[in-house]
Copies of this chain bind each other. A is one copy, B any other.
C-alpha cells in the first residue's frame, strides 16, 4: 500500500491488488489480415454520414499499380480490425532521389476516408483521429507502424516522391490483436437471421475491445471504464468466458482507490497503472455490480472475499450523498454519467443505480455469510426504496421524476424498473406508458438503450425488447456497422456528443450487449 499525492487527487495504491492484476495480463492472439479491395468513397445521401464505399478493384491489383505525387487509393480490409499495419514499398523508375512522403488516414467508417481531418472542430482531442505522415528515406523499405489502429479502411496519399520515381506497394498487412480466442465461442444458429447477425456483430465488437484490458473503444479512448466493463463482462460470460480478464480489471480498479476508498471511473494502464481523476457516482457503484456478476459467473469466492471491502465501500460512499429523506442529493458539483442525453437530470436514475447495486451487494453479503453487513444494507435499502416511491414517483403523471424541475426522463423510468422499485406488474405498465408517451428527455447512447431493452425484458415484454433491438442495433446494421457504434440516433445520424461524428468510436464496448441480451434472455 502506498500513497500517491497527485495534483488533484490522493491515490492509495494497493500493490498486492496491482500485482495480481499484472499476473493476469493476457497474451494477445494475433491474426494476419490482408486488405480485401481497393475502394472509392462516393457521396450518397441515403448512406450514414452521406458516404459509402464502392469496390474499385480487388486488392491484388495493387501490385500492378505505380503511384506518384498526389496519387491516392483507399484499401478496404473487409471488416473491422484492431491491430498494427506493415507496408512493403518499393520504387519504380529511376533510383529514388528523394524520400517518399506518404500520408495514411485510418478509419472505421467511410466518412473518415471522405472528410478531411483538418476540418475537425470537435471538442475531444484531434489526436484521436487516426493519421500518419511518414517519410521513407530508403527504398525499397518496410514501414512497420508502431501504433495500434482501429479501422476497416486505410487511405494512402502519396504526398511526394520525385519526378524520377514512383512507388509500388508490394504488401500491406494488418496484424490484428485481441485477447480472446474465437474458438472459445459457440456460435448460435438463430431462427431469426436479424438476431443472429446482431449476435455476431456484438461478439466482434466485444472481441475487438478485449485487449490488455476491456477497452471502451479501440479507436478512442482505448481505456478501461467501469461502466463499459460491467456490460462487456456480461457479454463475455455469455460468449468468450475470458473471465480472468474481468478479474484483472476488477483488481486494477481496486488497486487505485482514492483516500476515501472510492474507485475511479476509469484507469490508464500505460506506462503504469494510473487512476484517472474522474469519479462518477454510478460508475463507482458499478464496481459492486461487476463484482456481483463476476462472482455469479465464476463462483470465485476468493476474489469475492478479497474485493468485497472495495465493493462495499463504494456503496457506503454513495450513501453519503443521500439527503435526510434518503434521496440522492442533486447539485451542480457532482457527476453521475447515466447517459449522454442532453439536459438529462441525473438524480432519479442515480437513485435507481444505487438501489440496483445495493440489492446486488445484499446478495454478495449473503454469499459471504456476512449477516451484519447484509442486514444493515437491507435496512437502508428499505428506507431508500420507500423514499423513492414516495418522493420520486409522480402519481399524477405516473412517472418517476428527477431533480427540482421534476424532470420526466426515459433514464429515470428505466433505472427504477431495473432497480425493482415497483412490482413486476407496475414495472410492465410503466415501460408500456414510457414507450407510448415517449417523454422528451430520451436516450442518447447504446449504453442507455441496453438498459431500456433489459428493463423491458425484466418486466416481461420480450417482444417489445426484440422490436427495440431491431430498430436500434438492427438500424446500425442496415447503416453498415461491422461492429456496433458508440453513438447512434436513428433520427439524427450525424449525432455526436463531441461536436463531430469523425471522433465517434465505431467499435464500442457499451454497444456490444445484444449478444448478452439474446443469449441470457433466450431471445
Contacts and interface: CB of A to CB of B under 8 A. Distances in A.
Interface string A169-192: 000000000000000000000000
A127 B271 contact: no
A209 to B, nearest CB: 17
Contact of A7 (B93, B96, B124, B274): B93
Interface residues of A, number: 42
B271 A141 contact: yes
A127 B133 contact: no
A138 B270 contact: yes
Nearest to A120: B160
Given A7-B93, A138-B270, A147-B135, A125 B162 contact: yes
B98 A124 contact: yes
A277 interface: yes
Contact of A147 (B137, B141, B159, B220): B137
- Interface hub of A99, A132, A139, A274 (most chain B Cβ within 10 A): A99
A127 B140 contact: no
A239 to B, nearest CB: 28
| A8, A126, A127, A221 — most chain B CB neighbours (10 Å) | A127
B127 A94 contact: no
A97 interface: yes
B271 A94 contact: no
Interface of A: 7-8, 69, 93-101, 124-128, 132-133, 135, 137-141, 147, 159-163, 220-223, 268, 270-271, 274-277
Contacts of A139: 271
A162 B127 contact: yes
Contact of A125 (B138, B161, B221): B161
A97 B135 CA distance: 28
Nearest to A128: B98
Contacts of A8: 94
Contacts of A147: 135, 137
Contacts of A127: 98-101, 135, 159-162
User: Which 4 A-B residue pairs are closest in the complex by CB-CB distance?
Assistant: A98-B125, A101-B127, A99-B127, A125-B162
A133 to B, nearest CB: 5
28 contacts: A7-B93, A7-B94, A69-B125, A94-B276, A95-B268, A95-B275, A95-B277, A97-B125, A97-B221, A97-B223, A97-B268, A98-B125, A98-B128, A98-B220, A99-B125, A101-B125, A101-B126, A125-B161, A125-B162, A126-B159, A127-B159, A127-B160, A127-B161, A127-B162, A135-B147, A137-B147, A138-B270, A139-B271
A217 to B, nearest CB: 13
A161 B128 CA distance: 10
In this complex, the member of A94, A125, A133 whose beta carbon has the largest number of chain B beta carbons within 10 angstroms is A125
A514 B127 CA distance: 48
Given A133-B133, A147-B137, A95 B274 contact: yes
A177 to B, nearest CB: 15
Nearest to A98: B125
A94 B11 CA distance: 13
B126 A160 contact: yes
Contacts of A101: 125-127
Nearest to A125: B98
A44 B7 CA distance: 44
A275 B94 CA distance: 10
A223 to B, nearest CB: 8
A135 to B, nearest CB: 6
B124 A162 contact: yes
Contacts of A161: 125, 127
Nearest to A158: B127
Nearest to A103: B133
A271 B91 CA distance: 12
A122 to B, nearest CB: 11
B276 A97 contact: yes
Nearest to A264: B95
Contacts of A276: 94-95, 97
Given A98-B125, A101-B125, 16 more contacts: A69-B125, A94-B277, A95-B268, A95-B274, A97-B221, A97-B268, A98-B220, A100-B127, A124-B162, A125-B161, A126-B159, A127-B159, A127-B160, A132-B135, A133-B133, A137-B222
Contacts of A98: 124-125, 127-128, 220-221
A125 B271 contact: no
A352 B285 CA distance: 89
A171 B223 CA distance: 28
Nearest to A268: B95
Contacts of A93: 7
A22 B125 CA distance: 49
Contacts of A274: 95
Q: Which of A100, A160, A274 has the most chain B CB atoms inside 10 A of its CB? A: A160
A139 B159 CA distance: 30
